[in-house]
């Protein structure tokens, strides 16, 4: 037995000290781009992302719709592996086949919903318009559109149905799936539309084109796309059925793979990494993890990992530390792994990016993770709150929530992630709710603005410079308690985000 002379620390235990802000530190000059996979030091990574945020490999988070939205804002998603090989490959293929500029309809209702329900939904999502479909889904038969301008409390009973006030499909400008993005945008401007529904021959809503996406496109100039301009997407794999799963995912077009395990410091992972190298050379890129120390990083990097994911027990839905007594505070884990990454790069000339996975409870923790040296961040709770997450939206006591559950919960029963051989014998995650936060696009804009503001205060224009020059101080228990009390007193509309 060995007791390390260290306290396991998390992000909330640190604050950044401002450095000198110079004239070149303006939001438009800040480069948040990050390498995703291994590359020679001084050369570009074959896969880079403009927005260093990545969706978790979780059923409550990853779906084609989420993957497309995250790639649109310059990040990356991984389709989860706790499903059949055919189902996962189909999700990957759906992302690769999606046409840029066309998005899944965010907010959809049945015609029988009440005006009160749609009003609350639009308000919670901070949106103006919703599609009305026969089954209330994003791919149901389109029956109409309803916007905030179609009803008013002083003129209409909020117990009336959406059907009574919607603009029926016969009165709408719609377009077929064959329309190009530039034709769709011309139609939007010529006919002064806010939204153009794209409807298939069977009357089903396929996607929508929004006027506001023009603005978004300006804001998120760097979508994550492949050489053929299709959205990039990752996929989770495990160390059990990899010989069958990986070829199917590669065939479906996955741009990068990631071993999905709660504890990746294992011979099983090294076996998969070596198998991928021998089968595919460098044409298939695969990350490994999760680990919490430099030794484990070194093991996986030597075995050929293209990136290494850090984090055990810090996930918002995770109870691994209670169940197994394993884990490490995310800040301490990152500091150790990042030191090993930089030493490995110096020794071998190969840079293996580090992904900080889980435990981001508020936006300021993202800046701290980058200051600690993370190349990019994987997040579950953050993305699960958005319209684009696949989990259901539920209303409780007048508030909207999205369901969010861990891969180690009895709902997901992801035994391969937890190395449990006889199915899931005990839980390592919980099944719960997160406050609904509306559109991913709006939230990511605000998050990026905050990260950039922190970097400006710290005098940095790139993540590498930020890591190299950041000055962190530990927060005393007393000031941490005081801050927590102050936070609970604040009640701004965005405080839950």
Q: Residues interacting with ligand MZP, by CB under 6 A?
A: 56, 58, 290, 311, 315-318, 320, 357-360, 378-382, 406-409, 428-429
CB nearer to ligand MZP: pick between 59 and 387: 59
464 is catalytic: no
Task: Confirm if 306 and 352 have CB atoms less than 8 A apart.
Answer: yes
CB nearer to ligand MZP: pick between 113 and 378: 378
What CA–CA distance (Å, rounded) separates 156 from 190?
31
**Alpha helix (H) residue ranges in 349-496:** 363-371, 381-384, 440-457, 463-469, 477-489
For residue 27, how many other CB atoms are within 10 A of its CB?
Answer: 11
Strand partners, 309: 289, 355
What CA–CA distance (Å, rounded) separates 359 from 157?
44
Q: Closest separation between CB of residue 272 and ligand MZP, Å? A: 17
Residue bearing tokens 């014998």 = 425
CB nearer to ligand MZP: pick between 86 and 425: 425
CB nearer to ligand MZP: pick between 101 and 359: 359
CB nearer to ligand MZP: pick between 151 and 307: 307
Q: Which residue is nearest to ligand MZP (CB)?
A: 429
Exposure of 79 in the CB half-sphere (CA atoms within 13 A): 32
Nearest CA to 447 out of 365, 373, 392 is that of 365
CB nearer to ligand MZP: pick between 53 and 352: 53
Q: Closest separation between CB of residue 147 and ligand MZP, Å? A: 33
Q: Does an H or E element contain 132, and which?
A: strand 129-133
CB nearer to ligand MZP: pick between 13 and 206: 13
Task: Confirm if 472 and 14 have CB atoms less than 8 A apart.
Answer: yes
What CA–CA distance (Å, rounded) separates 448 from 52?
10
Q: Closest separation between CB of residue 343 and ligand MZP, Å? A: 25
Given the DSSP bridges, would you call strands 286-291 and 308-310 parallel, antiparallel or unpaired? parallel
Q: Closest separation between CB of residue 431 and ligand MZP, Å? A: 9
Q: And the tokens for 44?
A: 């570009």
Q: Closest separation between CB of residue 495 and ligand MZP, Å? A: 18
CB nearer to ligand MZP: pick between 382 and 401: 382
Q: Closest separation between CB of residue 413 and ligand MZP, Å? A: 10
471 is catalytic: no
What CA–CA distance (Å, rounded) separates 288 from 296?
10
Q: Closest separation between CB of residue 398 and ligand MZP, Å? A: 25
Nearest CA to 415 out of 239, 258, 248 is that of 239
Nearest CA to 407 out of 26, 62, 49, 7 is that of 62
Q: Closest separation between CB of residue 81 and ligand MZP, Å? A: 12
Could you give phi then psi for residue 195, rounded to 5 degrees?
Answer: -145, 140
Nearest CA to 205 out of 281, 297, 260, 137 is that of 137
Residue in 25, 127, 258, 318 annotated catalytic: 318
**Rounded (10°) CA dihedral 408, 413, 414, 417:** 40
Those residues with Cβ within 8 angstroms of residue 44's Cβ, 6 or more apart along the chain or in another chain: 35
**Rounded (10°) CA dihedral 126, 130, 135, 141:** -150
Please list the active-site residues.
Answer: 318, 417
């Amino acid at each position: 037995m060995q007791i390390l002379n260290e306290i396991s620390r998390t992000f909330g235990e640190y604050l950044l000290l401002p450095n000198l802000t110079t004239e070149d530190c303006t939001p438009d000059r800040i480069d948040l781009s990050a390498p995703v996979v291994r590359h020679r030091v001084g050369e570009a990574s074959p896969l880079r992302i403009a927005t260093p945020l990545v969706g978790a490999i979780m059923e409550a988070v990853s779906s084609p719709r989420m993957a497309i939205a995250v790639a649109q804002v310059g990040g990356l998603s991984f389709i989860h592996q706790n499903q059949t090989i055919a189902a996962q490959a189909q999700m990957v293929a759906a992302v690769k086949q999606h046409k840029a500029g066309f998005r899944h309809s965010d907010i959809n209702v049945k015609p029988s919903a009440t005006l009160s329900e749609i009003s609350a939904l639009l308000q919670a999502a901070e949106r103006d318009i919703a599609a009305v479909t026969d089954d209330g889904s994003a791919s149901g038969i389109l029956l109409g559109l309803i916007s905030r301008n179609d009803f008013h409390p002083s003129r209409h009973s909020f117990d009336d149905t959406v059907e009574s006030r919607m603009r029926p499909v016969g009165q709408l400008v719609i377009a077929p799936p064959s329309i190009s993005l530039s034709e769709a945008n011309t139609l939007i401007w010529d006919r002064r539309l806010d939204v153009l529904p794209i409807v298939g021959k069977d009357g089903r809503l396929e996607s929508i084109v929004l006027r506001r996406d023009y603005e978004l496109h300006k804001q998120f100039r760097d979508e994550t796309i492949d050489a053929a301009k299709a959205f990039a997407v990752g996929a989770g794999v495990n160390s059990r059925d990899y010989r069958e799963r990986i070829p199917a995912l590669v065939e479906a077009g996955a741009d990068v793979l990631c071993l999905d395990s709660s504890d990746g410091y294992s011979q099983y992972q090294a076996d998969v990494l070596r198998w991928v190298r021998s089968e595919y050379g460098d044409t298939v890129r695969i990350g490994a993890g999760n680990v919490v120390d430099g030794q484990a990083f070194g093991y996986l990097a030597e075995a050929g990992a293209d990136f290494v994911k850090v984090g055990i027990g810090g996930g918002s839905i995770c109870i691994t530390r209670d169940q197994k007594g394993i884990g490490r505070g995310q800040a301490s884990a990152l500091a150790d792994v990042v030191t090993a990454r930089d030493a490995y790069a110096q020794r071998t000339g190969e840079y293996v990016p580090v992904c900080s996975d889980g435990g981001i409870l508020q936006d300021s923790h993202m800046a701290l993770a980058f200051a600690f040296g993370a190349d990019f961040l994987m997040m579950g709770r953050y993305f699960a709150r958005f319209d684009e997450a696949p989990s259901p939206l539920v209303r409780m006591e007048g508030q909207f929530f999205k369901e969010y559950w861990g891969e180690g919960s009895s709902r997901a029963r992801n035994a391969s992630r937890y190395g449990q051989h006889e199915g899931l014998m005990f839980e390592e995650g919980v099944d719960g709710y997160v406050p609904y936060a509306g559109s991913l696009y709006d939230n990511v804009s605000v998050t990026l603005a905050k990260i950039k503001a922190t970097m400006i205060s710290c005098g940095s224009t790139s993540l590498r410079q930020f890591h190299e020059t950041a000055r962190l101080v530990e927060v005393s228990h007393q000031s941490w308690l005081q801050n927590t009390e102050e936070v609970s007193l604040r009640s701004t509309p965005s405080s839950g985000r």
